[in-house]
Structure 1
């Protein structure tokens, strides 16, 4: 039941819509006549809400809640009649609103960009149930041939573009009961991610040469295996010097602090002595300035693109080292731990992997060269036996 209240002698309505509390200010002064006028409005409004015909924008065009309720009204309209002829763009906007609670902000932005740049121009006005497998294959073929306005796209990027298209069409076919066109469409083969870790000698060279204000940053990267978003979004409250632990429970992506890559990425990372000393030194530099361990002079989080462009790549060029992206610091930590004989289970937990499977799949080929565990140890055992 809606109520009429007053604030600063102006009337406002307090009511619920889609189960959410709404308080909308009016320009009416608090008089008996205006309260009666507003009561008549509320009576009509509640009738429309009950009938499912209420439109928030029509009655409160300046409301801050407008975007939220506009999406919900679209969903309601879609569910009120199973119309398989709904066009691709309209259904996608409904579906995206439904999916947002499941996704991180960076993922939402990425998927919305895919629809805007690639999918709407191709499928936007088509009825959702008229999109065929042939159309999908033609679309993917054009991405392979022409890329994005002539700029080549990797197989991985094309697969990322196709994923929300597949999810959308499967959901639409299930909801509107038509046959999904997504049948036996396999993703493009992707080359294995390039893993090019640094040697321990190269790590030492980098840390002894890097700018002083970034030495602690790269020390932590090389010896904890933290992802870029995790270290750039690392707050001081997650540093436990007493237990020598780093708590990973958030990351920063595109300037927005949010959850880590996966639920399994939340973890506790152990500090070795170098990391511990580096963080003690960093505490003197930035803790009075910012909530973030690593930050700009203004106390804001680091922008990884700026750091990579202005610090990381120039340093590698100066040292004459092969150009490698900063993610290789994570690969380096893994291979150095393996080379040192650390338990694979412990390494997996440090990296936030749910099992050791990925560890051996990705890094096994580097272990023999680093540890000399290449069969020669077993040869030495056999030397003690006379086999004729």
Structure 2
């Protein structure tokens, strides 16, 4: 097996004595490759590669103990435990899948009908199907079960309606809509008004804005330092503080005049520099779910088609491109490694075709 991590080349035999013409051995190597991939995502990759070496067992893969009946939670928890995930990562999609299995009554591993009736968007369904398949593959290679029950399970294709709805929720607000939203929040939701303006004026992620503290602000140098993000455990209410999404997400942004004016008009308490700048109506950490409800109701009252709060990010980045900023500059504002994501999501802004005269 050969692969590269941050310009460093790795090469090793994950299964000494294994044979490519053996279906069992190919499954084991596939599971090892998945584990390496998951460790890289979770930031727990073992550069010594010892964690990924597998010894051939004298017992055939898939020869499960006849006295043991496995259920989906047994397999799911066992597989997740091998991934060495950070708590924040485990609390994300992995916890969502676990709750989904619990709601289905923790069926037996051979039962897959429950998943076929889960109501999810096609993209979410396919992502969770991939995760469940990986868990079942691990169970096969660990000789817990004989066959992967999801091998022939079909993925879903998004309907045209689903694609249109998903795309519309990403659309940026135009200048008129942005101004109406700002004025509406100032009048009816003053606690959130500065938070909404900050999102629209900076284009940073919602969790990053929630986590901004006064100690991250330098009004003299007009700099905003993004050092943490605050989110909510998926499906739960626990607030999670974590480092920014990527290495590039930990960044400093130069304030525009409107951002500077916004921050200077907020009461600046020098004796409490650890305080969050934006808080909920009760003075607590802003809850994403509660804010999303206020946001949704506000758009409905204004007669503006629904977009997720994340659309504030699309709005600022689109404005930056329309104003003539370069792709690397916009990528730096967004906290992206390079301009590929900008081209992928905002290419229509850059390359909007014009009919010939």
TM-score (norm 1): 0.60
- Once the two structures are TM-superposed, the CA of residue 271 in structure 1 deviates from its matched residue by 1.8
Give 1:216's aligned residue: 194
Is 1:188 aligned to residue 187 of structure 2? no
- Preserved contact between residue 122 and residue 157 of structure 2 (Cα < 8 Å): yes
Which residue of 2 is the match for residue 201 of structure 1?
Answer: 176
Distance (whole Å) between structure 2 residues aligned to residue 288 and residue 206 of structure 1: 30
CA distance in 1: counterparts of 2:297 and 2:149, whole angstroms: 49
Aligned residues of 1:196 and 1:331 also touching (Cα < 8 A): yes
Paired residue secondary structure (2:345): helix
Q: Count the aligned residue pairs.
A: 277
* Unaligned runs of at least 5 residues, structure 2: 1-56, 233-238
Quote the offset at 1:242 in angstroms: 3.4
Shift of 1:297: 5.2
Q: CA RMSD in A?
A: 3.5
Whether the 8 Å contact between 2:203 and 2:315 is mirrored in structure 1 is yes
Please state whether the residue corresponding to 1:363 is helix, strand or coil: helix
- Residue 153, structure 1, aligned to residue 120, structure 2: yes
How far is the alpha carbon of 1:305 from its aligned partner? 2.1
Tell me which of 350, 359, 362 is aligned to 2:333: 350
Distance 1:205 1:154, change over 3 A: same
Q: Give yes or no for the alignment of 1:295 onto 2:279.
A: yes
Name which of 199, 204, 219 aligns with 1:226: 204
Q: Note closer, same or farther for the CA distance 1:235–1:171 as it changes in structure 2 (3 Å cut).
A: farther
Residues 238, 248 of structure 1: 8 Å contact kept:
yes
- SS in structure 1 at match of 2:337: coil
Cα distance in structure 2, aligned partners of 1:154 and 1:208: 34
Unaligned runs of 5+ in 1: 1-78, 380-388
Q: 1:216 to 1:261 in 2, by over 3 A?
A: same
How far the C-alpha of 1:173 sits from its partner, in A, is 3.1
Q: TM-score, length-normalised on structure 2?
A: 0.65
Change (3 A) 1:182 1:307: closer
8 Å Cα contact 2:212/2:278 also seen in 1:
yes
Aligned to 1:363: 346
SS at match of 2:253: strand
Instruction: Supply the distance in 2 between the matched residues of 1:252 and 1:154 (Cα, whole angstroms).
Output: 25
Q: What pairs with 1:1-388 in structure 2 (closer than 5 Å)?
A: 84-85=64-65, 87-88=70-71, 89-99=73-83, 101-105=84-88, 107-108=90-91, 110-118=93-101, 121=104, 124-126=107-109, 131=110, 136=112, 138=113, 140=115, 142-143=116-117, 147=118, 152-176=119-143, 183=151, 187-190=155-158, 192=163, 193-194=166-167, 195-211=170-186, 212-254=190-232, 255-284=239-268, 288=272, 291-296=275-280, 298-310=282-294, 312-367=295-350, 374=354
1:263 is displaced (CA, Å) by 4.3
Q: Are the equivalent residues in 2 in contact too, given 1:286–1:294 (CA < 8 A)?
A: no
| Higher radius of gyration, 1 or 2 | 1
| 1:310-332 deviation line (CA, Å, top 9, x unaligned) | 3x234323433223221110110
Q: CA deviation at 1:344?
A: 0.7
